[in-house]
Structure 1
């Protein structure tokens, strides 16, 4: 127990003094190995094995595909389709932002990438339309987080690898929650915009302009159909689908829309390298996760929480509160790797499906994207809108409320999440 306390203090101190998270976890793990006299080669072995799973390649490929689709003109076509649907409503450009983020989330697999792709076009448009800048940035940051919930999702891939849960089942399970959270975000946007008198000056919906925009953006719409249809049609695996998405984006960008250039391609590669560099966290966090098993942390957590309640709803609510708090200063990838090993045995023991827990975990990570001081989406939206992080942090609070409401709905009615994967693959007990 004294060793655990020492390790906890070491980790907190390293984090507070500004040591990068991967180094803080790595140094804490090295200290633990020293205290229990385990060879330091564990870190090297874990480092090698953590980067060998083939599905891990899916993450940089989907990030690259999303960036190529953005710079190649596909994101703008999606915005055009969305604007023809809701252009005459109050908060129209805000609604367009949310809807376009949902569409683009089916391409990028990343919340920060979706925020950057859609926000770079819609934030200036909202400014021009008279929106309060913090509100416009808050819409972009919160809607961009959908990129991690709408399949394919990089966070679902990491969770699937760590928990040994079927990634295709997780992708299917994210569809209905994705639509629910999208609806809640659009309702929040509409209510605030109506009160403040934003937007509503666009053309009313008519089939002609909408079908014209849909025809022009057919290659953009075709991307998620190709990706998800290929996976569930048994044509290719999620990893192969990511590779197909990259080639599709290159083909459309270079030969159909002709907006992709060599310079944009190089920039997309650089963006992908920077964004996927976060995978450096895998080595120390997985090693640290192995040590939690050595110290029987999962069993202690299970005993502690079940002594309070065994209600699946209350247990998930308690874990959700913890995840939201920890997400304010911890990267989502590290959060998933570190705490899935701790909490998954607990929730499974009280009858929670691992797929449901995966979607629940992703939603709490999305809230972490929107909470300072880390808040990746807030940082990107701040750069796009050129205002301080503090101003966006206040404006985003109603949207955080929408995510929390979505989380409560999904843990109250788990069948909303599990219906599709159980329908396609059968219940877990018979698959």
Structure 2
């Protein structure tokens, strides 16, 4: 137990003083190996096994597909569809941003990528329409976080690999919570915009321009239909679907919309390489997770929490609060790998479905995208809008409430989250 306290202290100090997370976890893991006299080859073995699973290819492929769709013209078509659908209402551009982010989330699999794709177009437009810049940036940042819960989701892929949970079931389970949070975000946007008098043409909705925009964007709408329809129709696996998405994005951007140049393709490859670099976290965090099992941390945590309460609802709330706090300074990837092994056995012992817990975990990570100092989406929105993260952090607080309500929705009505995967694949036995 003394060794465990030393390791925890070293990890905390390294994190607080700003050491990169993969290095902080790696140093803590090596220290643990030294203290308990386990060969250092564990790190090498874990490094090899952590990067060999075939589904890991899904992450860089979906990142590349999302980037190609962004620069190839699909994002602007989705914004046009959203504008013609909800553009006449108070706070129209804000509502368009949320709705377009929901649509693009079904293409990108990433929160920051969704924020960049939609926010780069709508934040300047909102500013020209009289929106306060922090509010405009907050809308894009908060709605962009939908990219991690609406399928396909890179974070769900990582959770599925770590927990050995079906990735297609996780994807389907994210649909209803994603739609619910989208509705909460739109309500929040509308209320604030109405109070401040932002936007809204006042024109009645018309089917003709909407259908025209829908026809012009049919190739963009067809992407999630092809990707998700192929997965659930059994035509291909999630990894194969990601590869299909890349070729689809190349074809549409290059030959249909004709906006995808060689320069944009090279920039997309560079962007993907930088994003895929986050996978360096896998080796030290998985080794760290194995050591937590060696010290029997999951059992100790289960005993400590169940000694206070055995209510699944209260325990899920406690875990959610913990995840949100941790998410302020820890990468979502590391958060999922490190703590799934600790908390999943606990919630499963209380009858919580691992698919539900996976979506719950990912949604808490979305809140981490919106909280400083790490706040991935805040950083993206800050660069686009040209204002400080601090300004956006204050404006984003009402939108964080929308995600908290989404978490409560999953906790109190778990059947709604599990309904779709159970309907497609049948009720799973764990």
Normalised-by-shorter TM-score class: over 0.9
CA distance in 1, matches of 2:141, 2:275: 16
CA contact (8 A) 1:62 1:245 kept: yes
Whether 2:114 is the aligned partner of 1:114: answer yes
Q: CA deviation at 1:203?
A: 4.1
Give 1:269-308 correspondences, 5 Å limit. 269-308=269-308
CA contact (8 A) 1:75 1:104 kept: yes
Q: CA deviation at 1:117?
A: 0.6
Whether 2:80 is the aligned partner of 1:80: answer yes
Segments of structure 1 that go 5 or more residues without pairing to the other structure are none
CA distance in 1, matches of 2:428, 2:88: 45
Whether 2:340 is the aligned partner of 1:348: answer no
CA contact (8 A) 1:92 1:200 kept: yes
* Structure 2 residue matching 1:150: 3-state secondary structure: coil
CA distance in 2, matches of 1:260, 1:426: 41
* Structure 1 residue matching 2:231: 3-state secondary structure: helix
CA contact (8 A) 1:66 1:113 kept: yes
CA distance in 1, matches of 2:425, 2:312: 24
CA distance in 2, matches of 1:54, 1:416: 31
CA distance in 1, matches of 2:343, 2:200: 46
CA distance in 1, matches of 2:271, 2:190: 33
CA distance in 1, matches of 2:239, 2:69: 18
Give 1:11-22 correspondences, 5 Å limit. 11-22=11-22
CA distance in 1, matches of 2:362, 2:406: 12
* Structure 1 residue matching 2:303: 3-state secondary structure: helix
Moved over 6 A (4+): none
CA contact (8 A) 1:87 1:204 kept: no
- Return the TM-score normalized by structure 1: 0.99
What residue in structure 1 maps to residue 322 of structure 2? 322
Deviation string 1:89-118 (CA, Å, 9 cap, x unpaired) is: 011000000000000000000001101111
Segments of structure 2 that go 5 or more residues without pairing to the other structure are none
* Structure 1 residue matching 2:151: 3-state secondary structure: coil
What residue in structure 1 maps to residue 50 of structure 2? 50
Deviation string 1:54-93 (CA, Å, 9 cap, x unpaired) is: 0000000001000000100000000000000111101100
Q: CA deviation at 1:409?
A: 1.1
- Return the TM-score normalized by structure 2: 0.99
CA distance in 1, matches of 2:78, 2:204: 18
Q: Which moved more, 1:367-376 or 1:420-429?
A: 420-429
TM-align CA RMSD: 0.8
What residue in structure 2 maps to residue 205 of structure 1? 205
Q: Which moved more, 1:12-21 or 1:235-244?
A: 12-21
Q: CA deviation at 1:342?
A: 0.2
CA distance in 2, matches of 1:62, 1:88: 33
CA distance in 1, matches of 2:18, 2:315: 32
What residue in structure 2 maps to residue 334 of structure 1? 334
Q: CA deviation at 1:227?
A: 0.4
What residue in structure 1 maps to residue 397 of structure 2? 397
CA contact (8 A) 1:77 1:216 kept: yes
* Structure 2 residue matching 1:245: 3-state secondary structure: helix
What residue in structure 1 maps to residue 377 of structure 2? 377
Q: CA deviation at 1:202?
A: 6.3
What residue in structure 1 maps to residue 103 of structure 2? 103
Q: CA deviation at 1:50?
A: 0.3
CA distance in 2, matches of 1:404, 1:362: 12
C-alpha distance 224-202 of structure 1, shift in aligned 2 (>3 A): farther
What residue in structure 2 maps to residue 228 of structure 1? 228
